[in-house]
Amino acid sequence: MRVFKFGGASVKDGAGVRNLAEIVRQYKGQLFVVVSAMGKTTNAMEAIVEAYMKGDKMGLEQCFNNLCSYHYGIIDELSELNRSCIEGLLHQLNAKLESEPSLNYDFEYDQIVPFGELLSTTIVSEYLNAAGQGNEWLDIRRYIRSDDCYRSANVNWELTKELMSDLLVKDDSRLFVTQGFIASTENNLTTTLGREGSDYTGAIIAHVLDAEYLAIWKDVPGVLNADPRWYPKATKIDELSYWEAIELTYYGAQVIHPKTLKPLQNKQIPLLVKSFVEPHNAGTVIKSSEQSGDLQPIFVLKRKQILISMSPKDFSFIMEESLSDIFHIFSKHRVTLNMMQTSALNFSVCADDSKYVKAAIEELQQQFDLRYNDEMELVTIRHYTQEAIDEVITNKTVVDSQVSRKTARYVLKASEWRF
């Protein structure tokens, strides 16, 4: 049994859905196809939530109409399909939007945004059926159960395994089409696993059902040694160990959702990152392997960073207690720290610049003397060489750096990149 995950870009239009069907057709044997919301639908759903929560009736109507016309447009491109296949879902969503919102933003978000996934999987499943590829549409919320931490729910593995064991005996169905990113609580309330979470869904299914492998189909040839939009000389990496891939996602490589690798590694299930544009090419395989230390340099750039330095107001040393206060405040405000440095009187962190970080700064200022620089970038070079470092820092203002045996990291003033 295999699990395929198709992201929004792969099904952004009718041609994308046809391409997905062509890829799926090539594979014999049982297959789980996990599909994200189409194109940029999740962003559009977030705009719907925003208007709904603000009570902005006009904005809401406009966003809802755009959502309908985008999906109807895709259906119209697929002449085999009829618009009626998504009408039920759109009515359900409309009824929700006409009801009074509760005061819990994250809860409402999880009741609305998943419609993106429900719409996309319905269209894909209907199209596959119409194209002669009989399949079963699964509501993954019946199987993947989580706690009620809305917008970043934690999977209840025990319950999920128990419920999914039903699927193991369904060996009569070859092809399942299901949603990524969404789950539900024991009380059947919908939750989401965090933005870009459908890679993780693929890994959960692969783990629980002991898949042969998980393939993530993307618009890039595989895992590259840098983001080509930033570093035009980027090249594909053929093979990576789980360990290395986990390190890269930790440093901010966006190619795979960070939570995806652990469930696969625990059962030694390979992860294939393949191109949906050139599906016959090999892509990248991530599996357990003894990699030598001579890997090529891998570059990860995180933009929009803020560098915060703090020291205790009373000149006490930065000790465990103050560090624990600092971490507590960052975690309370959901701030992810991308780099940390500590010295006797100073502790500095680099984090994504966001409204959350501003709230944390306000709280920290009560206890610490604090300075910050925004408009920073954080570049990580894994398996660095002097040449790779020179390429990155020449003509740049280095504000902070951290170099270990395998990894060199630089906080730089944001500026243009030219290679």
Write out the residues near ligand ASP by the rule CB under 6 A. 7-8, 36-37, 42, 116, 180-181, 195-198
Of 30, 130, 23, the residue nearest 81 (C-alpha):
130
Of 2, 38, 8, 6, the residue nearest 22 (C-alpha):
6
Residues 246 and 188: beta-carbon distance below 8 Å = no
Residues 71 and 238: beta-carbon distance below 8 Å = no
Residues 102 and 114: beta-carbon distance below 8 Å = no
User: Which is nearer to ligand ASP, 116 or 312 (by Cβ)?
Assistant: 116
Residues 292 and 385: beta-carbon distance below 8 Å = no
Q: What are residue 216's DSSP bridge partners?
A: 5, 273
Give whole-number Cα distances, 96 to 42, 52, 362, 380, in Å.
17, 10, 36, 44
Whose structure tokens read 């879902």? 89
Whose structure tokens read 């890997």? 295
| CB within 8 Å of 339: residues ≥ 6 apart | 349, 350, 378, 400, 402, 409, 411
**Distance separating alpha carbons of residues 76 and 79, to the nearest angstrom:** 6
**Distance separating alpha carbons of residues 271 and 250, to the nearest angstrom:** 17
Identify the DSSP state of 38: S
Work out the burial of residue 327: count CB atoms within 10 Å of its CB; fewer than 13 is exposed, 13-18 middle, 19 or more buried: middle
User: Which is nearer to ligand ASP, 195 or 396 (by Cβ)?
Assistant: 195
Return the SS3 of 6: strand
In the chain, the amino acid numbered 374 is: D
- Residue 353: phi and psi, rounded to 5, are -80, 120
Whose structure tokens read 């890994």? 203
Helices H, strands E: what count in the chain? 13, 16
| CB within 8 Å of 343: residues ≥ 6 apart | 318
Token pair for 133: 């590829």
